Amino acid sequence: MKLMILAAATLFTFTACNNASTDKTVTDTVRKAPAVQAEPSPAPEPERNPPVTENSAASALPAFKMLNAAGQTIDLAQYKGKKIFVNLWATWCPPCRAEIPSIESLAAKTDRNKVEFVMLSLDDNFEKAKNYAARNGMKLPVYYPAATLPPLFTVDGIPVTYIFNEKGEIIFQQMGSLNYDSEKFVEMLNS
């Protein structure tokens, strides 16, 4: 019995992270101030990890300012016209770090003229994410909020991934880690 409880706890730990130290969530921390220290904590309860949702009700791609690694301000909406893969992650989140190689592998199999990848760091400061990316040889561009997160990106746990079509509508969303290096995702992004 103890082994089953330990296995279940381990599964949830490696599915999604949140920073609920008392009643705070990633949403509260980032909405109030993007540069607040985020501390690792236990994974959310199972009901907070919704299953993969495909072809959900269309939601608009938010106009949202973010910084790239060179310190330039980029508006997420400027990528409209391409499919956009947005991943919310942080260096302190083990499931986030675990899924990055599969996202990079997926990116290598897509037409980068037609698909944009946005790895949006929710770390307490951008230097942590940039240093992590450099140390680990990340090839995908790393971004950081330059403004308060839009409602769509204010989430209770990470990683969270959204895929938008060329019209800026959500065609896929996932809370929790996933292996994105699959034919399903290659086809979704290249079709």
Model pLDDT, residue 15: 55
The rounded distance, in Å, linking the Cα atoms of 38 and 26 is: 8
**Token pair 């508006």: residue:** 75
Q: Where are the domains of the chain?
A: 2-190
Rg, the chain, Cα only: 16
Backbone angles phi, psi at 91, to 5 degrees: -65, -25
| 2-190 under CATH 3.40.50.300, yes or no | no
pLDDT digits 0-9 by tens, 124-158: 999 999 999 999 999 999 999 999 999 999 999 99
pLDDT above 90 coverage of the chain, percent: 68
pLDDT confidence of residue 17: 75
Q: What is the pTM of this model?
A: 0.74
pLDDT score for 153 = 94
Please give the average per-residue pLDDT across 8-32, as a whole number.
42
Q: Nearest CA to 100 among 113, 116, 89?
A: 89
- Whole-number Å distance between alpha carbons of 84 and 88: 13
Q: Give the pLDDT of residue 119.
A: 98
The pLDDT mean for the chain works out to 79
178 C-beta neighbours (distance < 10 Å), count: 18
pLDDT tens per residue across span 60-106: 899 899 999 999 999 999 999 999 999 999 999 999 999 999 999 99
With 0-12 CB in 10 A as exposed, 13-18 as middle and 19+ as buried, what is 150?
middle
Count of CB atoms within 10 A of residue 65's CB? 15
Residue 9 is predicted with a pLDDT of 42
